[in-house]
Amino acid sequence: MERTVAVGTKFMLEVNASAILTHLRSAGRASVSALAKQAGLSRQAVSRSLAVLESMGLVEISAPDRAATPTGRPPQMVRFRAEAGHVLGVDMQPGHARIVVADLAGDITSEATVSLPRKGLSRALTAAVGRVLDEAGLRPGDIWHVSAAAPGIVDPATGHFTLSVSMPEVVGDTILAGLRAAVEAPVYVDNDVKLATTGERWRGTPHAEDALVFIDWGERIGAGIVLHGQLFRGASNDAGDIGYLDLCAPPASEGDEDLGPFERWVGTRELLRLTGRAVTLPELAAAAGRGEDWAVSAIGTVGARFAKGVAAIRALLDPDVIVIGGDITQLGTGLLDAVTDALRAEQLAQPRLEISALGADAIIHGAIRHSLSWVERERFDVSAIRRV
């Protein structure tokens, strides 16, 4: 029932300034006249809005550019000040963390990968972030928003980890506390696959997809789902938990009780077991590359099983594209071919399959994208623009 109303004529300026800022952020640099033409406003209105944005430090009016028009008076150019603020992305993985600073345009300005102890993780994280900020020449107040990712289950209300099999040290508010001590900004914590999905959609191959499913395929299997252009979480923040998809997999065998049915059936643990040898994933990939039967056969079997999962996703969601990431991508396109072959037997038209173009980087890109969305909503939106 909270509906926007226009209370006072200042409202118009706010609306217009916000719209102009959006234009300018996508264009990067433009003349006042060009902005006016694009926005459908008079030059005066645009100038007024720009004056406000300039006083907020969000835009900069630079010298006239004589190259912009072939004839006539050169226009003053105006530029979005991407350096007006920064966001922080953190990707926590067992033993190490990647910390990235990006400006408001999403360009990375500073980053570091640090190894972290299992004990005293919180304080070590605070110190590491402090060092990255120092390197970038930024103070804690210069960061507007922080998004952090780690494997495990997060309570979306509090940002606390309730469970993490591979990183038990992050359970509780470890990450939250460590980051809050380092910066003066809101901190968001989420599951790494969820943020990787956001990252794939932003910086991966298929940009404009309305419906995208990202599958993190390793020993465990999880998925992120983007629908209607935004990440879908589900009733208990557990949408995309396809490790527990049960497609009549055999019952759990010895030592597999911690995995879900789909993970037991197509996870990397099962894949390596199917080879009948003691090999690692890279070794398997190499053998498959040489065309050795045992390797090709194991990949074919798992690929065909995975195809059943793809078909289930297709029947229910009918996505544009399914992006595969995670450890399994070490196997390269041979895997994709195996899945695609098996899919030909399905009755429905199947979605496009792709291997993640970003790999492990998807997570950190997703974290940055999430923080930028916060900035757009909280700092660039109509309600955030007030005349000083």
Partner DNA sequence: CTAACATACTTACGGACCGTACGGAAGTAA
Partner DNA sequence: TTACTTCCGTACGGTCCGTAAGTATGTTAG
- What residue ranges bind DNA (CB under 7 A)? 6-10, 12-13, 16, 31-34, 40-45, 47-49, 64, 66, 68-76, 387
Determine phi and psi for 63, rounding to 5 degrees: -65, 155
Asked if 163 touches its own copies (CB under 8 A), the answer is no
Query: How far apart are CB 21 and DNA at their closest, in Å?
Result: 13
Question: Which residue, 88 or 223, is less far from its own copies as judged by CB?
Answer: 223
- Asked if 298 and 318 count as a contact pair (C-beta separation under 8 A), the reply is no
How many residues would you count in the chain?
388
Q: What distance in Å separates the CA atoms of residue 361 and residue 331, rounded to the nearest whole number?
A: 18
Binders of its own copies among residues 192 to 211 (CB under 8 A) are 210-211
Q: Give the per-residue contact string, 5-34, with its own copies (x = CB under 8 A; - = no).
A: xxx-x-xxx-xx--x--xx--x--------
Residues ≥6 apart with Cβ < 8 Å to 385: 13, 14, 17, 18, 21, 52, 53, 56
Pairing outcome for strands 96-103 and 108-115: antiparallel
Q: Give the per-residue contact string, 362-381, with its own copies (x = CB under 8 A; - = no).
A: --------------------
State which amino acid sits at residue 99. I
Radius of gyration of the chain (CA): 24
- Asked if 233 and 239 count as a contact pair (C-beta separation under 8 A), the reply is yes
Binders of its own copies among residues 334 to 353 (CB under 8 A) are 347-349, 351
- Concatenated DSSP letters for 300-314? HHHHHHHHHHHHHHH
Query: How far apart are CB 64 and DNA at their closest, in Å?
Result: 6
Query: How far apart are CB 387 and DNA at their closest, in Å?
Result: 6
Pairing outcome for strands 321-325 and 352-355: parallel
**Among DNA, its own copies, none, residue 69 binds (CB under 5-8 Å by kind):** DNA
Query: How far apart are CB 371 and its own copies at their closest, in Å?
Result: 21
Question: Which residue, 81 or 160, is less far from DNA as judged by CB?
Answer: 81
**Among its own copies, DNA, none, residue 123 binds (CB under 5-8 Å by kind):** none
What is the three-class DSSP state of 30?
A: strand
Half-sphere exposure in the Cβ direction for 222 (13 Å, CA): 16
For the record, the structure tokens of 36 come out as: 């006016």
Query: How far apart are CB 71 and DNA at their closest, in Å?
Result: 5
Q: Give the per-residue contact string, 225-264, with its own copies (x = CB under 8 A; - = no).
A: x-xx-x-xxxxxxxxxxxxxxxxx-----------x-x--
| Residues contributing to the site for its own copies (CB under 8 A) | 1, 3-7, 9, 11-13, 15-16, 19, 22-23, 26, 39-41, 45, 210-211, 223, 225, 227-228, 230, 232-248, 260, 262, 308, 311-313, 315-320, 347-349, 351
